[in-house]
Structure 1
């Protein structure tokens, strides 16, 4: 291994492998911490190496020090899942072995890829490439390559690890220099990856396009297409992103990541039918391909389909899928449980039944699992939190109990807890405001030093005290987020009279931005008629933003008011001939039997988006 300042990781790495290797070679490129001392405790042979911004040279120096028949290459932030399997693998006497690498990223997700990490010593195998170095197999004829049966666990892509080592800035400098020296397809591909990490999507797009143009169907091409599509999408060019990934899906029919990303773009464009087909294909083929995010061949794609069913009001279908997901992943996939809570709330399933169902399928048997479940229910502000606390007879801090009381609608007990607190944590600021609004007690806001703007506090106090409020005077994101939080929680708590009072204030205001913001929230929570009411007068104004017209047209389409929806979409289509608008007009013209107009849109699509025209499911227009 080559290392630098890895005292936080190297001990764990060597501890897991010490009984399965004959020697440990550690090449240090300039550590200023205790890395070398820790390595020596494990009887490692430690060599100093002057860093020259070239990973392949350092790697080749490290393998030159090895004396054993086979060499295992690891990084300090990696560990082996099944070291015993290594012994069995090398009995096959291959020249090198591909090992699956499970890369953990922040947010509890991970993705896998394969790389050669075991090589036979003294047969001339070397690393090439200054960054993202790899074993050069093309220079060796008749090389026998085996598949390893262990897994490498890699933690280096976690946000805290990445920033601790300043990897982003370092890697970009190295790959820029390497690409200038050797403008290969692989270097341009890695340059694009580094630009994505730096969120420079314009230059990432240029690099990926160059790589694709000069490459020859490389092993990393599927990932290149995925990342090129992502870069285009991040720049607002979603139709181009769709075209790239759609073409990729025709070439790489068994690459789960490409098919999944195609589904997410269809979903973003409102084409839920094609999105579901993509997610179902992912489930059918499982997790295959060059690089695959864990779960997209199973529970994550099921979750995406369940979310679409939920959005369409198909709660029974969503419920059954979510049951499968939770049985499969228990508390380890929080999004599945959150969606389950949302579906059961919208379907008006009694909270007692929800609790019994959730606990029976979660099968919580460990303290860590219970803690995860309680944390999830707390952060989601679920009415289920207090019943689960009572079920397991656990004691939580007073602050958590206050939140549990609030969302079980025991407002008086919640207020007692809040009034006991001398300092209000920022994480519960909105909960305190909600409680004040529900109890009509503005003093709850005044008596605590809430971590929000004074103007926002004054406006919220006026709302609670039923004084005149001019929402047009306050346009901050902070205020919008507070109002949005109140609307969401009032819906969940079924405090409909309180919700109505708040929405009346928003309705009579001249704040279009706030109306649009809250309309979207109402729509996503099933209150489509109310969402429509908030915007009905605004959409007829001359200089209204296009996104508001589009959102309102979608509302009208959802409720079956097709002619008015067509009028608005045609208004948008004069300046925006995107796939999304074309698709909506095709559906609307088909539903209203306006076949001449449908043919015109089909001709436009064939001319402007020929690839997407081919992929459109014309037979399913309705």
Structure 2
């Protein structure tokens, strides 16, 4: 090892699960490893000794900076590299010595944090010259005191650190939420800086305390006008307003923030989410397209994919909500070609194929052309997606690839693949069946018109509820549902629909809605999702005939008529809704119909109305500016 010497400095406590991977990733590129232990009771020290490290004990005092500074004090090399035990150096990173040839005072490093379902990228100073007086400040989220110096040199090192300790499971295991919140509250009390309020906001947000997070972010904003994290702070404020359902405030905040950070993709992504939440779908579409134009930002805090697969996924959802299924499929195709391992996109793609009432053989062609299976992980993801969506194609892929699957998966594959007798025999051979799978067995019982499988799921229900389920399968009338059985049947109806048992769907709909006297919008939308449009049209029309106007059912009818190409019927319905309640979403739907009809005069009239009544609709303003 030549060039500048490097000391790896770490503080640890009970890190036996991660420490070996961390040390293995750097052992050949550092000159010494300094580990400060704050009270491990597991095999952490035993593992550390395998790597010829210098181990020091430090009595924990609730201050991360103190422990970090103690580790630096014991470093003897030219440069210090700081890692946590749940981090490791990427194998493809450029060697540290290559980075240090520029002899900067400190180096910023890109860090990839693995959350439950996302990857968060941020940057931090992790390499710096030793014996220069650098120290850490802050009880928690400690940071190097570079602001105490003038004329320091720095650059971004071409290395990547992976951080795997941010999953909710690990956070709960180590009780990090409670610990971090306590330390951060102490910090803002003693040192009310923008950075400390920013971190407090992040912690509240991670805890789901969005109102408190927003309050902390606001205090941080006024103290952080020149800080590098300002764009991310503003984005997180918008996220909090989204979760608090204060959509208009959020839209105004992000629009103003974009003026200052026009190339920060996250802001457009959050703005798209806000617009989507209040059904401004044209503006949401514009935002997600802008995300794709900009791409993921580099050297800034960001969720990985907001300029790529995540934006496309949201765009797929927006097109589906607008009834533009062909566009949704096209975006799904593009997304899966670039990011095959994003399961939500694959499942949504399969869902849209079902919504479009595409024949099974054509669905298979679509999937084969879109999702090119290259290895076992691709195949596993496809099987998982087909299982989760209860696709009739699951049995095909199991057989085509000669897969050995769990009996439970086999039963589901046979059931929704139409091989009902074989599915019954497999279900009978399974000893323990979960509550979730009980829904599938009950759905199958409706399809085969038999109670023979119901004893397999009896343990999940009270005697009263189990008797009600038996009566329902027998299609008895005047059945009074309990709260639990109503919740169950709402889920079962969708699975009955997937088995193409329309008679049972209508029977259960009448039971749940008390013979069409109770409005149930969510259930009706679920039936549309699985392609039962004709049943929904008949059902909602009967409801309106019997009970009078239902704005939500009317909107559903209008959407369905529009998708079927019955534009005049859809416009009559939407005009009726506007007479009763003028909401933006209806204006946009009418505009889209007139666009399809090429009625430019009607489009112009609607644009003028939208400009006056809905000032947050930016697509109209932008269109007007372009024309002017």
Q: Which residue in 1 is equivalent to 2:522?
A: 517
Matched ranges for 1:350-365 at <5 A: 350-359=359-368, 361-365=370-374
- Equivalent residues of 1:54, 1:129 under 8 A apart: yes
Counterpart selection for 1:395 from 395, 400, 404? 404
In the alignment, does 2:209 pair up with 1:212?
no
TM-score, with length taken from structure 1: 0.88
Q: 1:181 to 1:5 in 2, by over 3 A?
A: same
Matched ranges for 1:344-355 at <5 A: 344-355=353-364
Q: Which residue in 1 is equivalent to 2:29?
A: 20
- Equivalent residues of 1:456, 1:479 under 8 A apart: no
What SS does the aligned partner of 1:25 have? strand
TM-score, with length taken from structure 2: 0.87
Counterpart selection for 2:482 from 466, 474, 493? 474
Counterpart selection for 1:90 from 91, 97, 100? 100
Q: Which residue in 2 is equivalent to 1:317?
A: 327
Residue 18 of structure 1 deviates from its aligned partner by: 0.9
In the alignment, does 2:394 pair up with 1:385?
yes
Q: Which residue in 2 is equivalent to 1:180?
A: 189
Counterpart Cα distance in 1 of 2:414 and 2:489: 21
Q: Deviations over 1:397-453 (max 9, x none)?
A: 322211110010111110111122232223411111111111111232135424244
Counterpart Cα distance in 2 of 1:527 and 1:550: 18
Counterpart Cα distance in 2 of 1:402 and 1:585: 46
Counterpart selection for 1:556 from 546, 555, 558? 558
What SS does the aligned partner of 2:14 have? coil
In the alignment, does 2:106 pair up with 1:106?
no
Unaligned runs of 5+ in 1: 574-580, 607-611
Residue 57 of structure 1 deviates from its aligned partner by: 2.1
Residue 342 of structure 1 deviates from its aligned partner by: 1.9
In the alignment, does 2:468 pair up with 1:498?
no
Counterpart Cα distance in 2 of 1:468 and 1:340: 38
Counterpart selection for 2:474 from 465, 472, 480? 465
Q: Which residue in 2 is equivalent to 1:277?
A: 286
Counterpart Cα distance in 2 of 1:543 and 1:135: 67
Counterpart Cα distance in 2 of 1:543 and 1:162: 51
What SS does the aligned partner of 2:95 have? helix
Counterpart Cα distance in 1 of 2:125 and 2:318: 40
Q: 1:532 to 1:153 in 2, by over 3 A?
A: same
What SS does the aligned partner of 1:19 have? coil
Residue 483 of structure 1 deviates from its aligned partner by: 2.8
- Equivalent residues of 1:256, 1:296 under 8 A apart: yes
Matched ranges for 1:57-76 at <5 A: 57-76=66-85
Q: 1:20 to 1:327 in 2, by over 3 A?
A: same
Q: Deviations over 1:570-603 (max 9, x none)?
A: 6456xxxxxxx34645775997969999878755
Residue 103 of structure 1 deviates from its aligned partner by: 0.5
- Equivalent residues of 2:34, 2:54 under 8 A apart: yes
Unaligned runs of 5+ in 2: 1-9, 562-568, 595-600
Of residues 386-395 and 240-249 in structure 1, the stretch that sits farther from structure 2 once superposed is 240-249
- Equivalent residues of 2:510, 2:516 under 8 A apart: no
Q: 1:447 to 1:161 in 2, by over 3 A?
A: closer
Q: What is the number of equivalent residue pairs in this alignment?
A: 600
Q: 1:551 to 1:58 in 2, by over 3 A?
A: farther
Counterpart Cα distance in 2 of 1:349 and 1:557: 19
Residue 294 of structure 1 deviates from its aligned partner by: 1.6
Of residues 548-557 and 483-492 in structure 1, the stretch that sits farther from structure 2 once superposed is 548-557
Residue 388 of structure 1 deviates from its aligned partner by: 0.7
- Equivalent residues of 2:355, 2:529 under 8 A apart: no
Counterpart Cα distance in 1 of 2:137 and 2:283: 42
What SS does the aligned partner of 1:157 have? coil
Q: Deviations over 1:444-491 (max 9, x none)?
A: 2135424244444333322210101445x4334x633x3333333344
- Equivalent residues of 1:16, 1:79 under 8 A apart: yes
Matched ranges for 1:214-613 at <5 A: 214-288=223-297, 290-330=300-340, 332-359=341-368, 361-470=370-479, 473-476=481-484, 479-480=486-487, 482-506=488-512, 508-509=514-515, 512=518, 515-525=520-530, 527=532, 530-531=535-536, 534=539, 549-550=551-552, 552-553=554-555, 555-556=557-558, 559=561, 561-562=570-571, 564-569=573-578, 571-572=580-581, 581-582=583-584, 584-585=586-587, 602-603=611-612, 605=614, 612=616
Counterpart Cα distance in 2 of 1:510 and 1:348: 26
Counterpart Cα distance in 2 of 1:543 and 1:180: 59
